[in-house]
Amino acid sequence: MTRERLMNVQEFERSLAESGLDAVVAVSQPNVFYTSGAYILTQVSVPDRLAMTVLPASGEDALLVCNIEEGLARDESWIEDVRSYVEFAEAPMHLLADVLKEKGLAQGRIGIEARRLGTGYYWELSEALPKASIEACDWLFDHVRSLKTEGEIQRLGEAGRATERAILEAFDQAKAGDTERHLLRTIKDNVALYGATDVVFAILGVGDQSYVPHPPARERPIELGELVRVDFGGSWECYGSDVARMAVVGEPTKAQADTYKKVREVERTAIEFMGPGVRACDVFRCVVETYAKFGIEYPGPHCGHGFGLETHEAPMLHPYNEAELQPNMLMCIEPVLFSEELGGYQVEDLVRITEEGSEILTSYGDADELFVIK
């Protein structure tokens, strides 16, 4: 069944026309899905089984897949021109070159995802199309995908709230003495119960690991007094979630409660600061300055990121990014505090940039107080 076309078609066409490129080629799983509707798992598990969309400035789009995936591609994609190559017998880049030639673009300006297309494949394509000008067009996909459609906002909001709920209910089900792995498994089970098809990342930092960015979950009990930091990314087929919530085992110490309130205050301040026309680097500065008021130095490297099909999407909220926020960008804001002295603190929410300012989409529970695991 053809998937619903959620891409921002209008912005894509505008950007492609403005770029002067004759065609762009998507090669990464998120961009192939975004531009075709075909969600091809083996793009990740068998990365040399390339799938690509060819999107010319004028004329019909084409979807190029391994013949194994042809049935799925025809089922799921709204692109009618599906071509396939036989794995090991035919080179995907030769098929791509043939399609571009057929479209009269052998000497055209072709945009590739330069960060994602392997160098060896680029060499093959250059050899097959010696007169074409092959350029990076990652920026175009980054830009278009950053401006979410209503359908995307609905899906991502639901995914975020389901993830938040899964974490908070797991906190509710947990008790001192449960192992870290058990707690993580409960969160995963809950997320699956709420419809997630996959886990993208599942970070649980407890006690002496609360301030380790991506620690391994251990087969040890969570103990009274320990901080529990969860940063969880699920996926609902193609669209993802990225939510962080905190708990403490037993009643928090005054230092824990105070520090949590500060981190939450920094997050709220940044969310209220965000709105159309605000530069990404200024959101970062807002976080640095709010932390500074509490006498805490914020190290970065970022305090959040655009979110959608991938964990980190444009715009990144880092000190060097002067891009302005725009309505219908979806941002994850996460001014984490990792301190050997204080512990690791992280609250992360999904925020929509509106015409007037911003609104929080992950609002299933109340993250104002540090959750207490009994």
Stretch that binds a copy of itself, among 66-74, 103-111, 246-254, 354-362 (CB under 8 A): 66-74
Cβ proximity to a copy of itself, 9 vs 193, nearer residue: 193
Q: Binding to a copy of itself by residue 224, rule CB under 8 A? A: no
Nearer to a copy of itself, 127 or 251 (CB): 127
By the rule CB under 8 A, 216 interacts with a copy of itself: yes
170's CB contacts (< 8 A; 6+ apart) are: 183, 186, 187, 190, 230
Buried b (16+ CB within 10 A) or exposed e, 334-363: bbbbbeeebbbbbbbbbbbbeeebbebbbe
* CB contact at 8 A, 127 and 327: no
Lay out the site mask for a copy of itself across 329-348 (x = CB under 8 A, - = otherwise): --------------------
List the x/- string, 181-200, binding to a copy of itself by CB under 8 A. ----x--xx--x-----xxx
Residue partners of 350: CB distance under 8 A and separation at least 6: 156, 157, 160, 241, 242, 243, 307, 330, 331, 332, 360, 361, 362
- How far CA 223 is from CA of 212, 219, 230, 260, in Å, comes to 17, 13, 16, 19
Asked whether the beta carbons of 32 and 26 are under 8 A apart, the reply is yes
Of 5, 11, 61, 72, which one interacts with a copy of itself (CB under 8 A)?
Answer: 72
CB of 275 to a copy of itself, least distance (A): 22
> Nearer to a copy of itself by C-beta: 151 or 195?
195
Contact 244, 348 (CB under 8 A): yes
Tracing tokens 């692109």 back to the chain, one arrives at 79
Number of shown-chain residues binding a copy of itself (CB under 8 A): 56
- Which residues, at least 6 apart from 174, have a Cβ–Cβ distance to it below 8 Å? 183, 186, 222, 228, 247, 373
Stretch that binds a copy of itself, among 12-20, 80-88, 170-178, 257-265 (CB under 8 A): 80-88
Q: What are residue 350's DSSP bridge partners?
A: 332
Question: Residues of 136-156 as b/e, b for ≥16 C-beta within 10 angstroms?
Answer: ebbebbbbbbbbbbeebbebb
**Smallest separation (angstroms) from a copy of itself to the CB of 206:** 16
Minimal distance, residue 359 CB to a copy of itself, in Å: 26
Q: Is residue 42 near a copy of itself by the rule CB under 8 A?
A: yes
Question: What span, in angstroms and rounded, lies between the C-alpha atoms of 268 and 366?
Answer: 13
313-316 and 304-306 strand pairing:
antiparallel
- Decide whether 302 or 352 has the Cβ nearer to a copy of itself: 302
Binding mask 147-176 for a copy of itself (x = CB under 8 A): ------------------------------
Instruction: Identify residues 86-145 at the interface with a copy of itself (CB under 8 A).
Output: 86-89, 112-123, 136, 138
220 contacts a copy of itself (rule: CB under 8 A):
no
Of 121 and 171, the one with the shorter C-beta distance to a copy of itself is 121
Q: Which two tokens stand for residue 330?
A: 């979806």
Q: Would you count residue 33 as binding a copy of itself (CB under 8 A)?
A: no
Interface region with a copy of itself, contact rule CB under 8 A, candidates 69-77, 98-106, 160-168, 256-264: 69-77
Q: Considering only residues 46, 153, 257, 323, which one is a binding residue for a copy of itself as defined by CB under 8 A? A: 46
Both structure tokens of 90 = 């035919």
By rule CB under 8 A, what string of x and - marks binding of each residue 280-319 to a copy of itself?
--------------------xxx--------xx---x-xx
Two tokens at 362?
């992950």
We find the least distance from the C-beta atom of residue 80 to a copy of itself, in angstroms, to be 20
Chain positions contacting a copy of itself, by CB under 8 A: 40-42, 45-49, 67-69, 71-72, 86-89, 112-123, 136, 138, 185, 188-189, 192, 198-201, 212-216, 233, 237, 300-302, 311-312, 316, 318-321
